[in-house]
Homo-oligomer: A and B are copies of this chain.
């Protein structure tokens, strides 16, 4: 797989020779994800400006070379940096890493694709800003723009991240450059503060899409709450799941800014430790007795809930707390709230007493309140959990791709009802256990109507045959979920082909749009491409 010399020369001309990478090892690493991939990458191009991106796009058009943009390249479990199609040049946007504008009063920041969650967190911290970012389930070194474009979500009031951005700068695959909303007019004052602009709004067509390369956008930030409290709870009977979900939906309808989620026991276990290979005597999936022992040790049932209250005063926060208590009364046990007062008290407790089921809570206390991801703090917890099935402990570099951690996501769109959640959970559980994997489940109640249902298949890519078995399990789950009407709301490069044909003219219309903006079909072929 080689690029014609003329293409190399043109790319080098566009960005400088040192930013066209053809080193075999680098290409190999870039082609490595958390599951088996076969795509080969002929070169990585690393522009430093919007102008350089435009030049690259023109080169690729002229020579009909497929080009696959990535931001920080940390789309773990969905394909990392690996292009959806073999032979694509990788457009690495990490050098576009500036925070271009910041408005504390109107609470927004304009960023390039290379800006990471960690970087924005530090930027706001250094300025002692009263604003908070929305954290990510994945790596703190992931790109915010990249996550937005995947419609990634997070906890807190602006958790539906892609609904809190505007003012995109887009390089179209044919080389044109546009700005969405009012951003297209010089001197317009509402570019960063109003999503819709005037006339048709184009932002939506660039999300989960291969229609444009976003070189900057404005992200809205939420004010830090005056009163913040996290809470956790659990319940013992899996059969109660539907009624708990119904109660949580009614709660979310009443308090839409409240963060709410459920995780199952497997997920909790994988968040706190690695697979107990010795105790399991090498068997998998996890023997029931070991799961029960974990539950008993930390005092949880098959499901644990967590959430946060974001209030503008202590009084308002306490009122909301009582609504949370009321919603869960008789349905959950061990509902525990952590706010500034409890946090201060806990810090007086001698550290040897701060233990729960053998786990030292001391180091977790920050994570549970002061530096909670629910408050926008970056955390590596979920990256660590990708090492669940590994036999060695996580490496200090925490790099699931290179450490051959196996991760595959299945993310069906599930209506926020007890029966829908039940049905989707049962599918994942049945298929996983049957095929030797733990059903690792997080249910994020992202809106009053929608459950961001995240099932992870975690495995060890170094274990013989696991790549194939895990992918087969992933495929079976997706097919079964789609068969029941639960279509995926986010796709990895491994699952693009699962989207069924539409029952209307959508495929033909997607084709018209693609042709209008990318006549030579060079941009990210195969990525969210439903022609």
For the complex formed, measure the closest distance between the CB of A481 and the CB atoms of chain B, giving whole angstroms: 10
| CA–CA, A220 and B252, complex, Å | 14
**Contact indicator A200/B189 (Cβ below 8 Å):** no
Q: Which of A166-190 contact B (CB under 8 A)?
A: 172, 176-179, 182, 184-190
| CA–CA, A528 and B201, complex, Å | 11
Q: Which residues of chain B are near A189, meaning CB under 8 Å?
A: 413-415, 420, 484-486
User: Which single member of B200, B203, B319, B505 contacts A178 (CB below 8 Å)?
Assistant: B505
User: Which single member of B162, B485, B491 contacts A188 (CB below 8 Å)?
Assistant: B485
**Interface-centre pick from A207, A257, A485 (highest chain B CB count, 10 A):** A485
Q: Which residues of chain B are near A500, meaning CB under 8 Å?
A: 185
Encoded as 1 (CB less than 8 Å from any B CB) or 0, chain A from 197 to 212 comes to 1111111111111010
For the complex formed, measure the closest distance between the CB of A531 and the CB atoms of chain B, giving whole angstroms: 10
User: Which single member of B188, B199, B256, B528 contacts A209 (CB below 8 Å)?
Assistant: B199
Number of chain A residues whose Cβ lies closer than 8 Å to a Cβ of chain B: 94
Q: Which residues of chain B are near A205, meaning CB under 8 Å?
A: 200-202, 204-205
Q: Chain A interface secondary structure, helix, strand, loop or mixed?
A: loop
Q: Which residues of chain B are near A323, meaning CB under 8 Å?
A: 312-313, 316
**Interface-centre pick from A176, A189, A195, A211 (highest chain B CB count, 10 A):** A189
Known contacts A177-B504, A179-B504, A204-B205; is-contact A312 B186 (Cβ 8 Å) = no
Q: Which residues of chain B are near A415, meaning CB under 8 Å?
A: 106, 189-190, 193
| CA–CA, A151 and B194, complex, Å | 12
Q: Does A82 touch B at the CB level, under 8 Å?
A: no
**Interface-centre pick from A200, A450, A516 (highest chain B CB count, 10 A):** A200
**Contact indicator A108/B316 (Cβ below 8 Å):** no
**Contact indicator A509/B176 (Cβ below 8 Å):** yes
11 contacts between A and B (CB under 8 A): A106-B417, A163-B163, A184-B502, A185-B502, A190-B489, A198-B488, A200-B206, A201-B205, A201-B207, A223-B253, A319-B319
